[in-house]
């Protein structure tokens, strides 16, 4: 019997809230505690974090899955998702799978992100992005890979993405699609001023260092998985490497990455709009 199940809900979707409340009632009727970490509720142990929304909601749930070191499963309430597992029509199947622990776990590598020499490190499932944000001019970012100077990006920004994040902002910026399970990091400039600066794939254990050049009066934003976490000023350094740990995605069926990719690209093409970072 599960210890507890955490439920994370898209904050602006009534249908997601309704489905989540249904799931909570089903679980509680079976003697399983369902709690809502977005409301500040906690548990001593957690079998699974269950999200109701899209890939962005699943990214929000990842924080709690890492905290409890448990699997994460997303119920997709909208269009095709790269990370979400089920849809509302599968609610009973998902409920029974949780109760019986009849699901597989797929590991997804994480990035570790640090600023300057500060001891605190942040984790990213998708990407770490240095972006000019509202800054008027292109930013200049010196880049080192494993201690070797690669060059200076004069660009709107630069992205360090996991394979999971390769289908997000990095793909929009011209980066490659990387299949899950490949251990690497994609470094992708955003609208670089020079064509010499193309995307680059480096090993997952590479030590990447980005320096916002001090010779120029400039500012930038550091974003982790789509959330702005820090304003950077000239002379600040962002260090990125593989975290050496994984997020566990729960699957109730075989995950067919290239089928999902094809469907998602068809969806974007038919809508005529660019996809969001998250």
Strands 184-190 and 72-76: unpaired
Cα distance between residue 56 and residue 128, in whole Å: 15
Strand partners, 265: none
Q: Which of 3, 18, 55, 89 is catalytic?
A: 55
Cα distance between residue 88 and residue 159, in whole Å: 33
* Residues 238/210, Cβ–Cβ less than 8 Å: yes
Start-to-end CA distance of the chain, whole Å, equals: 33
Cα distance between residue 233 and residue 62, in whole Å: 29
- Judge whether 44 counts as a catalytic residue: no
* Residues 19/91, Cβ–Cβ less than 8 Å: yes
Strands 4-9 and 48-53: parallel
Residues with active-site annotation? 55
């Amino acid at each position: 019997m599960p210890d507890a199940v955490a439920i994370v809900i898209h904050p602006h979707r009534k249908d997601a809230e309704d489905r989540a409340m249904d799931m909570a009632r089903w679980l509680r009727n079976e003697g399983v505690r369902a709690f809502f970490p977005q409301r500040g509720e906690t548990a001593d142990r957690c079998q699974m974090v269950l999200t109701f929304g899209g890939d962005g909601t699943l990214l929000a749930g990842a924080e709690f899955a890492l905290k409890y070191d448990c699997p994460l499963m997303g119920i997709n309430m909208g269009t095709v998702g790269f990370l979400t597992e089920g849809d509302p029509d599968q609610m009973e199947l998902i409920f029974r799978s949780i109760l019986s622990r009849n699901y597989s776990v797929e590991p997804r590598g994480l990035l570790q992100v640090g600023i300057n020499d500060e001891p605190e490190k942040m984790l990213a499932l998708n990407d770490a992005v240095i972006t000019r944000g509202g800054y008027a001019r292109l930013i200049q970012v010196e880049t080192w890979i494993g201690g070797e100077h690669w060059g200076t990006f004069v660009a709107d920004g630069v992205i360090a993405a996991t394979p999971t994040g390769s289908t997000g902002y990095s793909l929009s910026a011209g980066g490659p699609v990387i299949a899950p399970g490949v251990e690497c990091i994609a470094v992708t400039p955003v609208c670089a001023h020079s064509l010499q600066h193309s995307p680059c794939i480096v090993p997952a254990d590479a030590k990447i260092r980005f320096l916002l050049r001090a010779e120029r009066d400039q500012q930038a934003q550091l974003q982790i998985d789509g959330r702005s976490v820090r304003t950077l000023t000239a002379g600040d350094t962002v260090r990125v490497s593989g975290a050496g740990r994984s997020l566990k995605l729960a699957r109730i069926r075989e995950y067919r990455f290239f089928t999902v990719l094809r469907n998602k690209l068809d969806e974007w093409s038919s809508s005529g709009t660019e996809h969001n970072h998250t």
